[in-house]
Structure 1
Amino acid sequence: MSSLYETDYHQWLSQQREFLIQGQLDQLDVENLIEELELGIKQDFKTLKSHLMILLTHLLKWDYQEKVLQDPWVEKYVKHTWLPSINNPRAQIQELIKNNANLKHQISEALIQTYSTAKQRAIREMSKYARHENQKLNENSFPGECPWSFEQIMDDDWPVLRKK
């Protein structure tokens, strides 16, 4: 016979909540509750990394345009499109951390795990805009480790209001 967990997840969840409220701990489906808690924790971390990936990729692209390309075409037609890709994940990260305070302790790990992939994406995406061979990016175009602190990448005024 299938358990309620397998047949009606939401009803099972409501039932588990009610058991907790009523103090009926012996009625809890402990094995599945533990699994769900672990999945939830992993999903929150995965979501944090996903938002960081987008944010870091676009910050790297912005930084490269500012410091290296300085291409008026990219400045005029492309760069402004990156602002939502910078600001939206910031807001999503802030909301995620507000609702999951435990993620504060995992930010450094998430930055480390995410940066190298964001770097590869930025290299690939910015190379599309290179108008000359010497503007193409490679592994050495960006630092090996994230050059910014979490506080810096979450600053709503950065990098837009930063001096060139």
Structure 2
Amino acid sequence: MQGVSSNLSLKELYEIDDHLWLEETIKLLKANHLEKLDLENLIEELENLGRRDKAKVASFLEQIIRHLLLLQYWTEESQYNSGHWKAEIRSFRNQLKRNLTTNLSQYLEKELASIYDDALGYVIDKTEGKLDNLPQSCTYTLDQLLDINYLPENV
């Protein structure tokens, strides 16, 4: 490790400065010095990266669902908030599109029911339980949720 004190192991560096650890790990990978890698922490970081990516796209999708439900079912507030909800839907779709990969899309498809349940709970709390017409399971397809132009018809 050229930029780091020779007395410091890569494992020790990870505990002190994870950003510097990452830079050194990248240098080792580029130089094909695989035997010098801190595999334990590298694996942990890669697993964390995967979890963060999944959480990020799931959060964007949940936000889309929340706003679609509000737009579609909270008619008493629609007059005042529909423009805001539509703008939020577009914004979250754009952010999701920037982060979506084939694998993450498959993950969202698999987790759609759970993500919907979380969004539904939020909408129930937000509307203080006033809406008795909310579907208990997701009526949107993933394609609809990702489609920049899709908006549901009001019930």
TM-score, with structure 2 as normaliser: 0.83
Uncovered stretches (5+) of structure 1, i.e. residues with no partner: 129-135
Which residue number corresponds to residue 71 of structure 2? 62
Q: Which residue of 1 aligns with 2:141?
A: 149
Query: What does the per-residue CA deviation read over 1:74-106, in whole Å, with 9 as the maximum and x for residues that have no partner?
Result: 333222121222111101110011xx4421221
Report Cα offsets for 1:93-127 as digits up to 9, x if no partner.
10011xx4421221112322211111111122234
Which secondary structure does the structure 2 equivalent of 1:37 belong to? helix
Q: Does residue 137 in structure 1 map to residue 120 in structure 2?
A: no
Structure-2 residue corresponding to 1:83:
86
Aligned length: 146
- Measure the CA separation in 1 of the matches of 2:154 and 2:109: 27
8 A Cα contact 1:45 1:110, kept in partner: no
Q: Distance in 1 between matches of 2:54 and 2:127?
A: 28
Supply the distance in 1 between the matched residues of 2:42 and 2:110 (Cα, whole angstroms): 26
Is the 2:66–2:119 Cα contact (8 Å) retained in structure 1?
yes
Aligned-partner residue type, residue 25 of structure 1: L
CA-to-partner distance for each residue in 1:46-98, whole Å, 9 max, x for gaps?
A: 11111111110110111114xxx3x4xx333222121222111101110011x
Q: Which whole-Å CA distance do the structure 1 matches of 2:85 and 2:108 have between them?
A: 23
- RMSD of equivalent CA atoms: 2.2
* Aligned-partner residue type, residue 12 of structure 1: W
Q: 1:76 to 1:142 in 2, by over 3 A?
A: closer
- Alignment correspondent of 2:113: 112
Q: For structure 2, which runs of at least 5 residues remain unmatched after alignment? A: 1-7
* TM-score w.r.t. length of structure 1: 0.79
- Give the fraction of aligned pairs with identical amino acids, expressed as a percent: 29
Deviation of the 1:157 alpha carbon: 1.5
User: What secondary structure does 1:144 align onto?
Assistant: coil
Q: Distance in 2 between matches of 1:31 and 1:92?
A: 32
Equivalent positions of 1:1-20 (< 5 A) are 3-20=12-29
